[in-house]
């Protein structure tokens, strides 16, 4: 990879970090029956926060990769 392509590569690798956080959180949700009853609220909050942050990280990193590689316009989007 040329040095000019490093930002795109880093953004792509960072998207895998976000996806991994989502998968780890999802796995934690699937095994919530193993959590003690008094800790279930804390566990659910932990899973929600982890999946939310992971999803935002994944989405943002994919958008950054696409913008840096000029596959989508880098102009701001107005909703």
Closest Cα partner for 68 from 7, 18, 3, 13? 7
Mean pLDDT, range 54-66, rounded to an integer: 96
- Chain centroid to CA 14: how far? 8
pLDDT at residue 2 in the model:
83
Question: 6-15: b or e for each residue (b if 16 or more CB lie within 10 Å)?
Answer: eebeebbebb
pTM for the structure as a whole: 0.83
Under the banding of pLDDT at 50, 70 and 90, the label for residue 32 is confident
Cα Rg for the chain, rounded, in angstroms?
17
List the chain domain ranges. Answer: 3-68
């Amino acid at each position: 990879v040329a040095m000019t392509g490093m930002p795109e590569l880093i953004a792509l690798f960072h998207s895998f970090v976000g996806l991994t956080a989502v998968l780890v959180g999802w796995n934690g949700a699937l095994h919530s029956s193993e959590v003690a009853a008094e800790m279930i609220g804390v566990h659910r909050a932990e899973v929600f926060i982890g999946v939310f942050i992971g999803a935002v990280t994944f989405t943002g990193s994919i958008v950054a990769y696409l913008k840096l590689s000029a596959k989508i316009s880098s102009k701001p989007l107005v909703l």
